[in-house]
């Protein structure tokens, strides 16, 4: 059985080498499902959750816009497999050709699939098997709630300076 999931926020875990690793936290079946992601993916998801527009489209924004412009729609995202500690996902999409729906399922990293789902406001589903294997009690995990004024984290102020102009 599959359950609807929601993005609760971004959390931080500790990787095998002792460094902090971001995780997107899904909630389903009254459990949290932490999925470790890169810091870039965490910023992309955090940015979309905040609802603040970015001056130029980020990669996930561009993909959703392109699918829509080509007459397609993102129908949903499934976190559907966990193997050797790695989550796998699918992005379900459709388009109409001569009035008939044509459906597609694309393999995706869960972080990309979730970033797309947040932008397209489509459902995210997680199976019982995934939740049984990796679900956590909400008391075990501290989650950062999205805040609207987080753009300053996307690009550090000192990354681009006038000293680099030649």
In a domain, 162, yes or no: no
* Residue 152 is assigned to a structural domain of this protein: no
* pLDDT digit string, tens, across residues 90-110: 999 999 888 899 999 999 999
Q: What is the pLDDT of residue 82?
A: 96
What local confidence, expressed as pLDDT, does residue 147 receive? 59
Whether 137 is in a domain gets the answer yes
Is residue 157 domain-resident?
no
> Does some domain include residue 165?
no
Q: Which residue has the higher pLDDT, 58 or 26?
A: 26
Residue 72: in which H helix or E strand, if any? strand 72-83
Question: Mean pLDDT for the chain?
Answer: 85
Can you tell me the distance from the alpha carbon of 42 to that of 119, in angstroms, rounded to the nearest whole number? Answer: 14
The answer to whether residue 162 scores a pLDDT higher than 90 is no
- Structural domains of the chain, count: 1
Q: pLDDT tens-digit profile of 126-152?
A: 999 999 999 999 988 877 666 554 444
Percent share of the chain, pLDDT over 90: 62
pLDDT over 50 (residue 80) = yes
Q: Is 120 helix (H, G, I), strand (E, B) or coil?
A: helix
- The pLDDT, as a whole number, for residue 152 is 41
Six token digits for residue 17: 């080498």
In angstroms, the CA 139 to CA 144 distance is: 14
In a domain, 154, yes or no: no
Picking from 147, 145, 124, the residue whose alpha carbon sits closest to that of residue 33 is 124
Domain that holds residue 77: 2-144
Is 155 part of a structural domain of the chain? no
CATH code for the domain in which residue 64 is found: 3.10.690.10
Q: If pLDDT is split at 50, 70 and 90, which confidence band does 164 have?
A: very low
Per-residue pLDDT at 30: 95
Mean pLDDT along residues 80-97: 94
pLDDT at 145: 67
- 150: in domain: no
* pLDDT computed for residue 148 by the predictor: 52
Q: Is the pLDDT of residue 52 over 70?
A: yes
For residue 57, what pLDDT is reported?
Answer: 82
């Amino acid at each position: 059985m599959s359950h609807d999931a929601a993005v609760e926020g971004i959390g931080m875990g500790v990787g095998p080498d002792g460094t902090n690793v971001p995780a997107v936290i899904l909630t389903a079946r009254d459990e949290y499902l932490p999925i470790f992601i890169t810091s870039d993916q965490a910023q992309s998801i955090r940015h979309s959750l905040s609802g603040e527009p970015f001056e130029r489209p980020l990669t996930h924004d561009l993909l959703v816009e392109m699918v829509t412009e080509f007459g397609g729609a993102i129908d949903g995202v499934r976190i559907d497999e966990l193997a050797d500690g790695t989550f796998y996902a699918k992005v379900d999409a459709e388009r109409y050709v001569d009035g008939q729906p044509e459906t597609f399922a694309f393999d995706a990293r869960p972080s990309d699939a979730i970033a797309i789902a947040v932008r397209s406001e489509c459902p995210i589903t997680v199976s019982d098997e995934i939740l049984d294997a990796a679900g956590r009690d909400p008391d075990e995990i501290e989650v950062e709630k999205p805040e609207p004024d987080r753009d300053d984290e996307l690009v550090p102020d000192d990354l681009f300076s006038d000293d680099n102009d030649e």
